[in-house]
Amino acid sequence: MKGTAMKIHDYKGFPNPARVRIALAEKGLADRVAFVKVDVPAGEHKRPAFLAKNPSGVVPVLELEDGTALSESSAIIEYLDHLEGEPVLTGRTAKERGVIAMIQRKVETGFLDAVAAYFHHSTPDLGPHIETYQNRDWGEKNRERALSTLRWMERLLGGQDFLVGERLTSADITAFAGFLLADSVKIPLPDDCPGVRAYRERLARHPSVAAALA
Amino acid sequence: MKGTAMKIHDYKGFPNPARVRIALAEKGLADRVAFVKVDVPAGEHKRPAFLAKNPSGVVPVLELEDGTALSESSAIIEYLDHLEGEPVLTGRTAKERGVIAMIQRKVETGFLDAVAAYFHHSTPDLGPHIETYQNRDWGEKNRERALSTLRWMERLLGGQDFLVGERLTSADITAFAGFLLADSVKIPLPDDCPGVRAYRERLARHPSVAAALA
């Protein structure tokens, strides 16, 4: 396989692209992909050439050597995790895989997607490239949901280093993307979540996370 | 392993419980689980005993022999698919797994979850056990999203039998749960989706689907 036969179509700094970049760094696969910038601020992700790769019109997309276009960050990470490279991010045994998939989905729907909904519905004048339909009440409801999920994460973490035990998994990567987006839309971590605050700092220092964001 | 060492806490006839029941039937694992009824209409899923198993307060939950409680239907199916039994529902190779995970998530967020959001936000007087916050405009937006996803499914199906090629996968199971819920909330299949209509009938005749719903 050629060194850079796969392409990642994304926009650096955005939360879902960060998920895939962290997974690539964590698995030591970053030099196997070429990054192609999608000019999201100019609306390139809503034009036919990109929609042919991902009809959902969002980044990132992983384009395989045979032209297959994989979208949905959790699916891209699923692919990368089964390609090769250590450590495994989605679990090895049936039970590990089930638990990680469960926590990943709870963090994705309850935190990352909730913060994204708050962003889309509560940010004035996002414009036609980002969002035209806005429902402020739904945005506020999602801000509350994100905070509620952070409090669940506080209980889940207890004394452990990561959301599922003592190793970084896809669930932590999703959480970190949520932290990045929460920063940019100014949803601060609640004062009653000191464990989440320490966890977030731990993730930010984690080598693959630091490398992917550099 | 004992014959019925695992427990499924669910409520028969609801869409997410149907996903897990179809997966169990398709993999020939139905006699490995005991079903425990959660009285959802009476609000049992919002009481402490159930919330200890799933803080999200929704069915189904798979309780393993060691007491581990797995929630989120996609995670339960992930677990069951790695346990044993044929056929494989989530793919074997990295590419199969990535594509199936991608399509499953697009169907889940764009169709099943969208129809569920329409149900929760647009059905009058659901009451405190089901939904207290309602946002009619958001409900209507989700009805539109579900229809848009059905039109994407129409294009995706083309001449193939299932959403990912010629075999049933977890993506089809999610789609079928969406069809069940769409029926109950009266979102008919659009006239311009004859391929989806034929696909839905094909799924309904599929042995594991028919067995799980019997």
**Average per-residue pLDDT for chain A:** 94
Complete DSSP assignment for A53-67: T-TT--S-EEEPTTS
Residue of B nearest to A62 (CA): B98
**Average per-residue pLDDT for chain B:** 94
- Average pLDDT in the A67-76 region? 98
Q: Measure CA A115 to chain center.
A: 12
How deeply is B43 buried, as exposed, middle or buried, from its count of CB atoms within 10 A (0-12, 13-18, 19+)?
middle
How many Å lie between the alpha carbon of B173 and the closest alpha carbon of chain A?
17
Query: Where does the pLDDT of residue B1 fall: very low under 50, low under 70, confident under 90, or very high at 90 and above?
Result: very low
What confidence score (pLDDT) does residue A2 get? 47
Interchain contact B152–A (C-beta under 8 A): yes
What confidence score (pLDDT) does residue B2 get? 47
Using the structure block, give the residue that is written with the tokens 């839905």: B200
CB pairs under 8 A between A and B: 92
What confidence score (pLDDT) does residue A1 get? 45
How many Å lie between the alpha carbon of A62 and the closest alpha carbon of chain B?
10
pLDDT tens, B138-193? 999 999 999 999 999 999 999 899 999 999 999 999 999 999 999 999 999 999 99
B contacts of A94 (beta carbons < 8 Å): 79-80, 82-83
Q: What is the DSSP letter of B134?
A: -
Decide if B74 contacts B104 (C-beta within 8 A). yes
Decide if B162 contacts B153 (C-beta within 8 A). no
Work out the angle at residue A102's Cα, subtended by the Cα atoms of residues A96 and A105, and round it to the nearest 5 degrees. 135
**Which of the pair, A26 or A127, is modelled with greater confidence?**
A26
How deeply is A172 buried, as exposed, middle or buried, from its count of CB atoms within 10 A (0-12, 13-18, 19+)?
buried
Q: Which of A182, A122, A172, A174 is nearest to A146 (CA)?
A: A182
Give the Cα separation of B48 and A14 in Å (integer): 38
* Nearest by CB: B74 against A62, A101, A133: A101
* Nearest by CB: A56 against B55, B75, B106: B106
Contact A102 B68 (CB under 8 A): no
* Tokens of residue A161, six digits: 């280093």
Q: How far is CA A175 from CA A28, B7, B76, in A?
A: 21, 30, 21
Query: Where does the pLDDT of residue A86 fall: very low under 50, low under 70, confident under 90, or very high at 90 and above?
Result: confident
Contact B138 A135 (CB under 8 A): yes
A contacts of B135 (beta carbons < 8 Å): 135, 137-138, 141
A105 backbone dihedrals φ, ψ, rounded to 5°: -70, -40
How many Å lie between the alpha carbon of B200 and the closest alpha carbon of chain A?
22
How deeply is B187 buried, as exposed, middle or buried, from its count of CB atoms within 10 A (0-12, 13-18, 19+)?
buried
Give the Cα separation of A146 and A153 in Å (integer): 10
Give the Cα separation of B199 and B186 in Å (integer): 19
